[in-house]
């Protein structure tokens, strides 16, 4: 427990995302980060997280949709029951997309007792993935 913050721990890379819960506003011009700069608040039983300040090195979804450093997101998390979280995501990136859009709503089932395995990105594997999958896929859309 860290007062004023929520930390999200991710299986991939064992990375941590910090969400400020102390009432602060998003900075006007945050330094670009992999997970952006996030502030959260409670609206009833829903955690609302606003994020800005992403770098443009990541992509959206499994299909690899691009985004710019201007992307802003709003996430909504609501605990439906002991093992179920409802998740909604709104994406606004005027530099990349013509309108704000809603990602497909998701239901996340929690699995009590499951340990998070180690997962690391090895540079040589990333290079191979880029060469065999990402770059050919990008060429097909041009």
The 10s digit of each residue's pLDDT in 48-80 is 999 999 998 888 887 788 899 999 999 999 999
Domain ranges of the chain: 5-140
CB 116 within 8 A of CB 9: yes
Backbone angles phi, psi at 123, to 5 degrees: -50, -45
Residues of the chain with pLDDT below 50 are none
pLDDT value at position 90? 97
Closest CA to 38 of 93, 75, 70, 79: 75
Helices within 3-142 (DSSP H only): 123-129, 135-140
The SS3 call for residue 83 is: coil
């Amino acid at each position: 427990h860290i007062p004023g913050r929520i930390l999200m721990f991710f299986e991939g890379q064992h990375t941590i995302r910090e969400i400020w819960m102390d009432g602060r506003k998003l900075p006007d011009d945050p330094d670009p980060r992999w997970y952006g700069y996030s502030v959260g608040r409670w609206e009833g039983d829903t955690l609302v997280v606003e994020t800005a300040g992403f770098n443009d090195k990541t992509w959206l979804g499994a299909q690899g949709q691009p985004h710019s450093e201007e992307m802003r997101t709003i996430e909504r998390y609501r605990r439906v029951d002991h093992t179920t979280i409802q998740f909604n995501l709104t994406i606004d990136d005027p530099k990349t997309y013509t309108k704000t859009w809603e990602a497909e709503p998701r239901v996340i089932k929690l699995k009590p007792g499951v340990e998070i395995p180690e997962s690391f990105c090895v540079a040589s594997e990333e290079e191979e993935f880029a060469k065999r999958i990402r770059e050919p896929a990008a060429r097909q859309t041009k």
